Amino acid sequence: MFKAKYFFLLPALLTLVAIILFPLLFTVRVSFSSWDVYQAGLDYIGGKNYLRVFEDVRFWESFARLSLMSFISVTLQYVLGFALALAVWKQVRGGRTLRVIFLIPMMTTPVVMSVIWRTIFHESLGPANDLLGVIGIDAVPWLSSSTGAFVSVLIVEVWQWTPFMFLLLFAGLVSLPREPYLAAAIDGASAWKTFWQVTFPLMGPISIGAIIIRLIEASKIMDTVYVLTSGGPGTATETPSYYIYIRGLRDFQVGYSAALSLIYLVVMIVTLTLIAKFFTRLLNGKEVG
Amino acid sequence: MNTLIKKNCSIVVLSTSLGLLSTAVHAANYTDYGINKDLPGTCSYSAIDSKDYTGKKLNIITHAIPVIGEPTALHAEQFSKLTGAEVNVVHVPFGDLFQRIMIPFQSGQNAYDVLFYASLWIGDFNRFLSPVPEEYINSTGMKDVTDSFRGVAQWNGQMIQYPMDGDRHYLKYRSDIFESDEMKAKYKANTGNELKVPSTWEEYNQVANYFSGFDWDGDGELNYGSAEVAKRDDLMFSAFISRAAAYAKHPAVKGGFFFDLETMTPLINTPGFVRGLELFVEAQQAFPPGGTNFGLGDEIFSFGGGQTLMSYSWDDAFIQAQQENNRIRNKVSAAPLPGASEVWNRVTGKWDKFETPNRAPYMTWGWSSAVSNASKEKEMAFDFLCFFSNESNAEHDLQIGRFGVNPYRNSHFNSDLWTGMGWDPEVANSYVKTLSEMETSPNRVYDLRVPGVGQFMSSMANGVAAAMSGQKSAQEALDQVAAEWTEIVDRIGKDRLRDAYANVVALEDA
């Protein structure tokens, strides 16, 4: 039986349809068309674009690169973020100021910061090589070698997003219960043991949440790559997002880039779900153990 | 009665004279707009001043400031003051410009009346552009445009782009070093060769290599041999075309440089292109630190800032070097792009030897402008473009390096214009001679002005970048590009592309 109260759901439902469902369904429809620079519009070419995606080695290579990039950068962000959170967790002098300073990188615009980092890494004019020179280290080909460019992107990512980890982990630390620490102190546990036996396990759920959120964000990396390396040298730093950008907006292969985007979306949902499940099992296993 | 009529006539004559006088006085004030004087021409300041577009609106899309964006904004403001029109200018970074123009075109929106964009996009945009009306084709400014740039503005014999810039790649070098007795002696002692301006790309690499890694200008900083645009998505494809053209463009072989026009088979992996790429890869040894990641801006400041001995690409680095207060001002010179002693003949399938190196000047893409077919203000839009490139504005814009406007009219190939800006006569002469000779070369190469040019160039840049970074050999990289080009041809349509490519071949084989 119809109830008037359901009317109140209508604005929310319409908003949902307008901002989520319509673009998604439209992208699905576009992915089955040959819409490109010459042919505009929604013709129907079946699954040709999807077959092309599966044969597109460059796209899958960019996935492998993204996996490595995300794994290293999120791991480093987690370790550094945790260390910083622990450092200011206890009452230290200037703790408030330090907390604000730690958050600055996260509040800056990625494109602007990438431009600044590109200047820092400039191999003849940038300060990075000048500083290395002062301590007797040869100039590093930051952006002109494959390894250098990959490491440069990682450095910028870690610099920019470690504060996010710090923020979540710090919030987790301040909300931890006091009792386990009192018990550990009574048992005479060392600081190291207290961390491994008490803090780290208690921080499990928040850690998993923070890591998953960062993995989702890291998987979309585009602006840093665009400004810093343009995916190069060669394809050394090309990520799926940047590749889709090239195909869609530079080459104007609208139909094909829609197929790439949807495959990318599905792969990321599946992968991140599996990672989340893995972590949850790990956590549950520990709790059971 | 007669007296009254005479009196009235005298008043009318007097008023008319006063009106003219006031116009003349007003004309003198056009210097307030930043020009030396209002040069006579179809769309001079006074001619445009007589038009009234009050209450009308003109929407313009252009590149970001300063290159082309700054002169667009400047002339839009002047046009608005002169005619009373409301002129709205949208500035877009280069990477987004194509799609910002193409999306309204494809969706049938009348978003912009006037468009400034890269001239090689004509293959994609031609269907959406309004032909230039006869009165503008016969304007004084247009009649002075060189034949090659009139050709660049045409599609299937019809002028649909409005020329306002002229671009080509040529060699720039430090004349003070090449003419230095000390450097000549040093080079001879160490290499056994005479130091001379390179006439082949092999010589270019050899000289660049020698002059890399030591302080040859005595400023306390290390210097290097060559600055080149080598960043994948930053116009590197144009640098590669410059390097490969001399090996792949045989003067006796007609019918296509990038494709065989008859079959539309890609020629990008033929030995001439492969040789060009091998030499590009080898040249990296002479780049400054980070040079393999140089975009156009880096190249401009590396050569223009005195870091490197040689460079080639658009005018900007040369103009930068010639800016007032630049420490290398008048220590630079221009020359044709290096050539090749061996050229691949795709008809015989053999390398042909040339006693005088084969040159294949690259008339690279530059900025162009057009009026949208969907515009409801076409007359005003063409008036704006005619005003933008009128004699006074063109002369003004040429003098400001950052504006990105380069010679495209016969009157621009006049040394006096450049010596008037403080250039030494030798520098001005080398510049004018190099540029004007390209206009008459029978072996010119043009960009691939066909639908989907972005896809072709993106694929080529990716292949070249793979070879430059050592991921693939030159042959493997270009074989991959050829395979991708074949797929693109199949997708867009062989006949459609052939029809479009015939326009390019017509320019090259003219």
- Evaluated on CA atoms A58, A60, A66, A72, the torsion sign reads negative
B429 belongs to a structural domain: no
Asked if residue B463 and residue B349 are part of one domain, the reply reads yes
CA dihedral B78, B97, B401, B234 (to 10 degrees): 170
Q: Is the pLDDT of residue B433 over 90?
A: yes
| Band (A1; pLDDT cuts 50, 70, 90) | low
Please indicate whether, in this complex, the C-beta atoms of B458 and A249 are within 8 angstroms of each other. Answer: no
Q: Which two tokens stand for residue B94?
A: 């280069």
Contact status of A235 with chain B (Cβ, < 8 Å): yes
Query: What is the tens place of the pLDDT at every residue in B159-217?
Result: 999 999 999 999 999 999 999 999 999 999 999 999 999 999 999 999 999 999 999 99
Residues of B with CB under 8 A from a CB of A: 95-96, 98-99, 102, 106-107, 124, 231-234, 288-293, 307, 451-452, 454-455, 458, 462, 465-466, 468-471, 491-493, 496
Token output for A27: 């992208």
Specify whether B376 is located in the same domain as B343: no
Nearest residue, CB atoms, B293 vs list A34, A40, A144: A144
Mean pLDDT computed over B15-30: 49
> What integer pLDDT is reported at residue B28 of this predicted model?
53
**B355 and B497 in a common domain:** yes
Asked if residue B419 belongs to a domain, the reply is no
| Residue A75 near residue A162 (C-beta atoms within 8 A) | no
Residues B382 and B315 in one domain: no
Instruction: Give chain A's length.
Output: 289
Q: Are residues B107 and B61 in the same domain?
A: yes
With a cut of 80, say whether residue B20 has pLDDT above it.
no
Residues 6+ apart with CB under 8 A from B93: B63, B64
pLDDT exceeds 80 at position A286: no
Torsion angles phi and psi, residue B220, rounded to 5: 90, -5
Q: At what angle do helices A146-174 and A57-89 cross, to 10 degrees?
A: 40
B240 in any annotated domain: yes
CA atoms of A242 and A227, how far apart (whole Å) = 11
Query: SS3 sequence, B43-87?
Result: CCHHHHHCCCCCCCEEEEEEECCCCCHHHHHHHHHHHHHHHCCEE
Domains of chain A: 45-288 (1.10.3720.10)
Token readout for B107 is 């969706």
Selecting from B102, B288, B293 the residue whose C-beta is nearest the C-beta of A233 gives B293
B170: its two tokens: 């040529």
pLDDT on residue B16? 43
Question: How far apart are alpha carbons B217 and B183 in whole angstroms?
Answer: 10
The domain total for chain B is 3
Distance (Å) from the alpha carbon of B295 to chain A's nearest alpha carbon: 10
Residue B196 and residue B316 in one domain: yes
Query: Pick from B444, B336, B443, B390: which is nearest to B145 by CA?
Result: B390
Output the domain CATH number for residue B105: 3.40.190.10
Give me the residues of A, 13-72, that contact B with CB < 8 A. 34, 36-38, 40-41, 58
Whether the predicted pLDDT of A18 surpasses 50: yes
Q: Are residues B206 and B288 in the same domain?
A: yes
| Pair B369, B385: CB distance under 8 Å | yes
B287 and B230 in contact (C-beta within 8 Å)? yes
Residue A144 to residue B491, Cβ atoms within 8 A: no
Q: Write the DSSP assignment of B174-208 as a string of letters.
A: EHHHHT-HHHHHHHHHHHSS-----SBHHHHHHHH
Residue B416 lies in a domain: no
Within a domain: B418: no
Q: What is the mean pLDDT of chain B?
A: 92
Question: B289 and B307 in contact (C-beta within 8 Å)?
Answer: no
In terms of domains, do B96 and B153 share one? Answer: yes
Flag if B232 and A250 touch (Cβ within 8 Å): no
Residue corresponding to tokens 């401009």: B300
Last residue of a domain, one of B378, B406, B434: B406
Residue numbers of the domain that contains B72? 34-163+364-406
How many C-beta atoms lie closer than 10 Å to residue B147's C-beta?
12
Find out whether B338 and B246 touch, Cβ atoms under 8 Å: yes
What angle (nearest 5°) sits at the alpha carbon of residue B294, between those of residues B292 and B298? 150
What percentage of chain B reaches a pLDDT higher than 90?
Answer: 85
Same-domain pairing of B370 and B477: no
Residues 6+ apart with CB under 8 A from B219: B306
Q: Is the ipTM of this complex over 0.90?
A: no
Q: What is the mean pLDDT of residues A135-164?
A: 93
Residues B5, B51 within the same domain: no
CB B174 within 8 A of CB B331: yes
- The reply to whether B174 and B322 lie within a common domain is yes
Residues 6+ apart with CB under 8 A from B42: B135, B136, B139, B140, B141, B386, B390
Q: E strand or H helix at B173, and its extent? A: strand B170-174
Closest C-alpha to B73, from B58, B85, B91, B55:
B91
| Chain segment A45-93, per-residue pLDDT in tens | 999 999 999 999 999 999 999 999 999 999 999 999 999 999 888 766 7
What would the pLDDT profile of B353-405 be if each residue is shown by its tens digit?
A: 999 999 999 999 999 999 999 999 999 999 999 999 999 999 999 888 788 89
Considering the domain boundaries, does residue B307 fall inside one?
A: yes
Closest-CA residue in chain B for A226?
B233
Q: For residue A233, give the nearest of B234, B452, B465 by CB distance.
A: B465
* Angle formed at CA B137 by CA B402 and CA B416, multiple of 5 degrees: 45
Q: CB-based contacts of B404: which residues, under 8 Å, 6+ apart? A: B63, B66, B67, B68, B71, B165, B316, B367
User: Do B106 and B136 touch, CB atoms closer than 8 A?
Assistant: no
Q: What is the pLDDT of residues B120-171, one digit of tens each?
A: 999 999 999 999 999 999 999 999 999 999 999 999 999 999 999 999 999 9
Residue B232 has its nearest CB partner, among A34, A142, A230, at A230
CA-to-CA separations, B201 to A106, A242, B32, B171, B323, in angstroms, rounded: 48, 34, 48, 11, 28
Size of interface A-B (CB pairs under 8 A): 101
pLDDT single digits (tens) B291-337: 998 988 889 989 999 999 999 999 989 988 998 899 999 999 999 99
CA angle B241, B242, B247 (to 5 degrees): 80
Q: What is the least distance, in Å, from the CA of A33 to any CA of chain B?
A: 12
Please name the member of B288, B455, B466 whose beta carbon is closest to the beta carbon of A253.
Answer: B455
Query: What secondary structure letter does DSSP report for B161?
Result: S
Same domain, B265 and B383: no
Decide if A234 and B96 are in contact by the 8 Å CB cutoff. no
Distance, in Å, from the CA atom of B248 to the CA atom of B357, rounded to the nearest integer, reads 13
Task: Verify whether the Cβ–Cβ distance B290 to A251 is below 8 Å.
Answer: no
| B21, part of any domain | yes
Does residue B425 lie within any of the structural domains? no
H-run or E-run covering B344: strand B340-345
Using a CB-CB cut-off of 8 Å, the residues of chain A touching B307 are 124
Residue whose entry in the numeric block shows the structure tokens 């006049």: B414
